[in-house]
Structure 1
């Protein structure tokens, strides 16, 4: 089976400032008609019939889906499916989008892993749900998508230490030498500990790369999408 992964940028949509232009988030104050047009274009460009969205809440709940949903999956931060052609979407603007796939067994997952979700274990929960759906941990491939990098993610020392205690490997220093977090580094270590051997990292920092949305940089802004599916 062939697994597909796509990460969008800001370009090519209908949204106006401060969401310009390919905002895919419907919860950030953008014109609903523009978001709807952007989502329709995404589906058309990807060649998929339906996209599955989440009502993301910065938790560790995982929803396994076996068909299209009329509404976003309620109060969840990870989607899992073994149905070909069903495209799963995680929306981010600094958090880590995590796309996982076991191509041999035909199981994929899309995860929204912000500081809180990463700290409480949303990624291990997604891996467990994938295994339950037929995947094998040692056959899972992962892409850690663009997010705020450690040099830009300055946090209070107590917060850094708390996250490090739950997600070892995430503590770092910012460009200014202050306490910071590198969630992708912590998630990489966590996934390796789960037996996942093939982990790729998109090195782009959402704060530094102006082609990407960043809440930390801009405040009110849009959301990019990380999408994965199995070709039908």
Structure 2
């Protein structure tokens, strides 16, 4: 199955992260590619997205036109097309899935169960540096969320030990996302986006944070742009169940 089985338990909010297994796409997108923008056969992507809906049981899934911005959009229902030029979406609608596509960037899922507010954010190097997660939390607060109640789960992404960058880039991101600069397993300069985001979230008063430690660059169960170049996209998905 392309998603974990956590969604089958009775909970007010459900979150899943897909892998690359169990879909209809051919090499190099094999096989559960959910990205329409990477050159895959549109029919295969549509079949994969339909399967994700069927397995999770959501009424619909909203996707984004992710451009590595720090733009957040609040939505109030299904969308015929990806939400344009945004890298995080927020909603209070139930049984509406919010999807974020990644292949090394960090998928960030957030919820305040008491307020009935959820969000999905695409936190790549640029987006994380420029405050996409902070902006997402602020939009959630406008809808009644409170930082001390917000729960955050980050999915598989590029790890600091493998995300090698020039020193100047690491220092630039560190200035805007403290805690992200690191050394790779080779001893070169690197960026650990998840580490920086955890520190940032805690600075906002959010402490219920979980982070999947798996690295998409080294784990071939996941798509990785850094490892493969032309490849597919896995997803993080969050939704509120009906009352």
Per the TM alignment, residue 104 of structure 1 is displaced from its structure 2 partner at its CA by: 1.2
* 5+ residue gaps, structure 1: none
Per the TM alignment, residue 209 of structure 1 is displaced from its structure 2 partner at its CA by: 1.0
Question: In 1, distance between residues paired with 2:186 and 2:16?
Answer: 33
SS of residue matched to 1:163:
helix
Question: In 1, distance between residues paired with 2:187 and 2:77?
Answer: 47
Match in the other structure for 1:180 = 190
Per the TM alignment, residue 197 of structure 1 is displaced from its structure 2 partner at its CA by: 1.1
1:164 alignment partner, one of 166, 171, 174: 174
2:71 alignment partner, one of 36, 57, 61: 61
SS of residue matched to 2:40:
coil
Match in the other structure for 2:157 = 147
Per the TM alignment, residue 120 of structure 1 is displaced from its structure 2 partner at its CA by: 0.3
The ranges of structure 1 where at least 4 consecutive aligned residues each deviate by more than 2 angstroms after the TM superposition are none
SS of residue matched to 2:66:
coil
1:101 alignment partner, one of 111, 117, 120: 111
Question: In 2, distance between residues paired with 1:124 and 1:210?
Answer: 31
8 Å CA contact 2:148–2:207 kept in 1: the answer is: yes
Per the TM alignment, residue 160 of structure 1 is displaced from its structure 2 partner at its CA by: 0.2
Per the TM alignment, residue 216 of structure 1 is displaced from its structure 2 partner at its CA by: 0.4
SS of residue matched to 1:148:
coil
Is 2:124 the counterpart of 1:114? yes
Count of aligned residue pairs for this structure pair:
232
Query: TM-score, with normalisation over the residues of structure 1?
Result: 0.99
8 Å CA contact 2:159–2:192 kept in 1: the answer is: yes
Is 2:101 the counterpart of 1:91? yes
Question: In 1, distance between residues paired with 2:174 and 2:98?
Answer: 29
SS of residue matched to 1:94:
coil
SS of residue matched to 1:161:
helix
Is 2:208 the counterpart of 1:203? no
8 Å CA contact 2:21–2:30 kept in 1: the answer is: yes
Per the TM alignment, residue 137 of structure 1 is displaced from its structure 2 partner at its CA by: 1.1
Question: In 1, distance between residues paired with 2:223 and 2:116?
Answer: 31
> How do 1:18-97 and structure 2 match up within 5 A?
18-97=28-107
Match in the other structure for 2:201 = 191
Query: TM-score, with normalisation over the residues of structure 2?
Result: 0.95
Per the TM alignment, residue 194 of structure 1 is displaced from its structure 2 partner at its CA by: 0.5
Aligned-residue Cα RMSD (Å) equals 0.7
SS of residue matched to 1:200:
strand
